[in-house]
Amino acid sequence: MKYVKPLGALGAAVVMALSLSACASGSAAGGDPGSGGKVVIGIKFDQPGLGLKEGDTYTGFDVEVAKYVAKDLGYTDVEFKETPSAQRETMLQSDQVKMIFATYSITDDRKKKVSFAGPYFIAGQDLLVAAGNSDITGPDTLNGKKLCSVKGSTSAKKIQDNFANQVQLKEYDTYSKCVEALASGAVDAVTTDNVILAGFAAQSQYAGKFKVVGKTFSEERYGVGIKQGDTKLCTAINAALEKMVSDGSWQKALDDTVGKSGFQVDTSVNPPKPDACA
């Protein structure tokens, strides 16, 4: 009988620990897949063809993939929040968003802070220049040039790591600011993923003004950012992504969004198969 009390206390502690861990993956940003209700999803607000907010309307491939996945996971209400490149890890860690679909490359560095489902798309880093520019033809021709990219992006990091000696790198918070700087002549080129640059080049206000150089120099695997270690959510997202490809919705979403810019998708690597959830 001596043990009854300690066991009871232990039992209560176990129940508490279990119930705490059961809600660890649920937050104000959304519950576990299958629990329904609202989910808060991070996207870009200024990237035409991928994640764009105009008034109350959200368009782009990332938005379409996000909506499909959210529905497949049983969420009944989606709230979109802007997740600029440099803030994505923090916004997941602090439960401001449940998932991020924002041209978010899967990298080992980022995996130290967050986890990824997917990839659901593969792009490559490229350069955007004025339509009449003939001296920038690839990353090896950037000597002495002013180049714009975005803080916290793999694009800026690649330049810092590989071309820092030759290039004057200007870093803004968003790519739309870089594109404005290119339009005004404040910079010679903008660098990020080819699919993002193609979306800007196709915007009516920039018609005929820019060209994408077309020589990619990285592989950017777009994943769905989630809280680190949420394997249950990762597995559910990957199943939804595979379904989106097999039922034709992935291709349709791509044609309706990115396709409009005339961007040629690299079909030798797209659509990609999701990685195993760690």
- Residues making contact with ligand GLU (CB under 6 A): 85, 102-105, 150, 153-155, 192-193, 220
**Residue least distant from ligand GLU (Cβ):** 153
Measured over the CA atoms of residue 13, residue 278, residue 67 and residue 219, the dihedral's sign is: positive
| Torsion angles phi and psi, residue 58, rounded to 5 | -115, 130
> Of 25 and 192, which CB lies nearer to ligand GLU in the complex structure?
192
> Least Å distance between CB 48 and ligand GLU?
14
- Give the Å distances, CA to CA, from 260 to 50, 163, 182, 206, 276: 11, 32, 22, 15, 32
> Of 25 and 125, which CB lies nearer to ligand GLU in the complex structure?
125
Q: Are 27 and 99 in contact (CB under 8 A)?
A: no
Query: Does the bond joining 48 to the residue before it have cis omega, within 30 degrees of 0?
Result: no
> Of 39 and 122, which CB lies nearer to ligand GLU in the complex structure?
122
> Least Å distance between CB 153 and ligand GLU?
3
> Of 82 and 95, which CB lies nearer to ligand GLU in the complex structure?
82
> Least Å distance between CB 156 and ligand GLU?
8
51-54/57-59 β-pairing: antiparallel
> Least Å distance between CB 128 and ligand GLU?
13
> Least Å distance between CB 143 and ligand GLU?
23
Instruction: Give the side-chain half-sphere CA count within 13 A for 231.
Output: 3
> Of 33 and 225, which CB lies nearer to ligand GLU in the complex structure?
225
